[in-house]
Structure 1
Amino acid sequence: TGKAEEKAIAMGVAIGSGYLYKTTFEKEVYSDLYGERGCLMGAIHGMFLAQYQVLRERGHSPSEAFNETVEEATQSLYPLIGANGMDWMYEACSTTARRGAIDWSPKF
């Protein structure tokens, strides 16, 4: 009928999607495989687990290690990044945190 795009947009708006963009099946497959399996889940899970384990090995309680790892990221940092962007987050950090970002980010 020539109305597929119009219907897709209407469905997205109806379910409350805040952002819609054109894509192809192939692009969606690759972005999901890379994003969800790599960066969004694999990398985040791996970094959380590594940090948690190091803190536990250094004598932190399970609660302290969880709070310093998952809680700080999900309840404090990620909402700020979502609202203001990564550049803002970098500028809002301490000199020590910035230095760590410069030194460590290439390793990831």
Structure 2
Amino acid sequence: MNRYNDLTAGSTEGQQDDAHHGDHGRRGPKSHRHVDHCFRYLRQSLLCCGDTALEGQDPNTDKAATNGVGAVHMCKDFEAIRSWAEDNRLVDDKVE
């Protein structure tokens, strides 16, 4: 299920970063390919599930930009997603 792949990709980035710094900066080509894959995957996920909340301009500035503070976002119910995944899984392993 895509949602769990998103979480795995994000978790992998932290593990790769830990491995990177713990190994004095040495990474092999396979590691770079995996990190590149994870970033591409997360980017695609963000594009597919883009947040359409309207973010207004900061009234305290003349700049035509926003920092997103104060915008109302509608998050998906992750527990409902987890429950659905549990009920509809193909293998009998618990979803974590």
Pairwise TM-score range, normalised by the shorter structure: 0.3 to 0.5
**Per chain length, whose mean CA-contact separation is higher, i.e. which structure has more relative contact order (CA < 8 Å, sep 6+)?**
2
Instruction: Determine which structure has the larger helix proportion and give its number.
Output: 1
